[in-house]
Amino acid sequence: MPTRVLIPSGVLGLGFDRAALQRGAAMRPDIIAIDGGSTDSGPYSLGAGVSKYARAATKSEWAEIMAARRIAGVPLVIGTAGTCGADATVDWMAEITREIAAETGESLTIARLYSGQPAARVQHALAEGRVLPLTPAPAISPEGLGQMTNIVALAGAEQIQAALATGADIVIAGRTTDTAIIAALPLARGENPGACWHGAKIGECGALCSTNPTSGVIMVDFDRDGFTVQALAEGAACTPHSVSAHMLYENSDPFILYEPGGHLDVRGARYQALDGGRVRVEGSLWVTGPYTVKLEGARVAGYQTTILAVLRDAHYVAHARDWVARLTGFLQGNIQRRMGLSPADYALEFRLIGVDAALGGLENRAGAPVEVGVLGIVTAPSQAIASEIGKLINPFVLHYPLTDDEELPTFAFPYSPATTDRGALYEFALNHVMRIDDPMSAFRLELETLNARGRDAKAV
């Protein structure tokens, strides 16, 4: 009997075809799995420990998926809950789940799998030579680890299996690899390991592997020889091309994919079209290796204030770069005199929208824009300093002339006040793996029961 995994969409919060989800729930899946996040949107989520998506949207989608779970009567697992999968966002997702359960009155066991790493654990591993850099890796130190606001390890199949083994109805997992939540049950049931990881990789973005990428819902069947994938939305189909091309997506290497405990090699995979827009894949290989988990970490890299001005004067548009160069030099002198700060104490950058804001020094085209947007970005060790610099530069961004003997220009500020404090800037500070002997040694599992009937509600 194959193991059937229903995937409502590539990530919770993007929506999915509801009719397709209902259809999927009725097709006897063995588990429902959905990804809760990624690093796609940058370091802010992990740095601050918050979700990217709105709580209301998350709750309403999660409620629908919980309803599908009820119909199917199978476990539901979400990985990388709350975009970053930090402990705080696992708790956030658990709270949403409790609210929904209170509204529906259903009795549920929830397992929370935490991926957060205390700095001390990683410092200890570093001292023992068990923290290894990937390419390229930021330099790290014990002190640096201690300054990170969140460190997570990416859970693999073993940790998800441990959570499922509790018998929980719903598993809310912190940071996991995109694939582990899909591969875990098929692997536990002895399905073909290469197929488990490859099918999981194809399925983890939902219907992106089909001809209707936004339709969300995907079903993957795993067996001893391979996997079969189908898109469930009306009119969406998987083709050998759409499925094999998905390995290109967001991978630096389309053939080799590393996971905890080994890697997936799809060079020998064969893709075959079946009836009904389904695709059969066989020939993927799982190669075991030392057990390592990837680490992600974020730290505060400063505080920012921005200012935006629009140049519409043709003379200034034509000489925007010269103007920025002069202005920057002038302001650095001013900041030095009035605030006692040297350029090494802060960053002041002006980007020219309409010239090279997107590509910077790599830009190789020039044009004649009608107007140019000047985005000033101040980065400083505190918000107070960034804000102060913003106020200091404000009148000059508005009026600074291209030459000393011309009338002062006035540019366009879109709103008042002209400066905006952005708060903390976070940056990714780890691109490393940590070797561990026991897969659960770096992860924490907790259980709770909601709306228990005829037994005491308990937390384990």
Residues that bind another protein (CB under 8 A): 39-44, 134-138, 241, 244-245, 248-255, 301-302, 304, 347, 349, 351, 357-362, 364-365, 377, 379, 425-428, 431
What lies within 8 Å, CB to CB, of 362 at 6+ separation is none
Instruction: Give least dist CB 212 to another protein, A.
Output: 17
Give least dist CB 158 to another protein, A: 22
Least distance from another protein to the Cβ atom of residue 438, Å: 26
Q: Which is nearer to another protein, 56 or 248 (CB)?
A: 248
Q: Please, which residue, 166 or 239, has the CB nearer to another protein?
A: 239
Q: How far is the CB of 114 from another protein (least distance, A)?
A: 22
Tell me the C-alpha distance between 192 and 285, whole Å. 9
CB closer to another protein out of 169 and 259: 259
Taking the least distance from each CB to another protein, the nearer of 70 and 351 is 351
Q: Which two tokens stand for residue 363?
A: 């830009």
Residue ranges of alpha helices (H) inside 301-418 are: 314-318, 320-339, 383-399
Nearer to another protein, 103 or 253 (CB): 253
Strands (E), 209-322: 218-222, 226-231, 256-259, 262-265, 270-274, 278-282, 285-288, 292-311
- Closer of 255 and 330 to another protein (Cβ): 255
Smallest separation, CB 190 to another protein (Å): 30
Cα distances (angstroms) measured from residue 48 to each of 177, 323, 377, 426? 20, 36, 20, 8
Are the beta carbons of 230 and 185 closer than 8 angstroms?
no
Q: Compute the radius of gyration of the chain from its Cα atoms.
A: 26
Nearer to another protein, 219 or 378 (CB): 378
Q: How far is the CB of 328 from another protein (least distance, A)?
A: 15
Query: Judged by CB, which is closer to another protein: 147, or 251?
Result: 251
Question: How far apart (Å, rounded) are the C-alpha atoms in residues 223 and 2?
Answer: 5
Antiparallel, parallel or unpaired: β 218-222 and 226-231 = antiparallel
* Angstrom distances, CA of residue 348 to CA of 15, 152, 230, 379: 39, 32, 51, 7
Report CA-CA distances (Å) from 7 to 16, 25, 189, 450. Answer: 10, 10, 18, 25
Q: Which residues contact 83 (CB under 8 A, 6 or more apart)?
A: 36, 37, 38, 41, 45, 50, 51, 52, 53, 89
Least CB distance to another protein at residue 418 (A): 21
Residues 6+ apart with CB under 8 A from 283: 194, 226, 266, 268, 269, 270
Q: Which amino acid belongs to residue 280?
A: R
Angle between helices 157-165 and 180-188 (to 10 degrees): 60
Nearer to another protein, 251 or 382 (CB): 251
**What is the Cα–Cα distance from 397 to 415, expressed in whole angstroms?**
14
Min separation Cβ 331 and another protein, Å: 17
CB of 377 to another protein, least distance (A): 7
How far apart are the two ends of the chain, measured CA to CA in Å? 33
Least CB distance from residue 381 to another protein, whole Å? 12
- Nearer to another protein among residue 47 and residue 75 (C-beta): 47
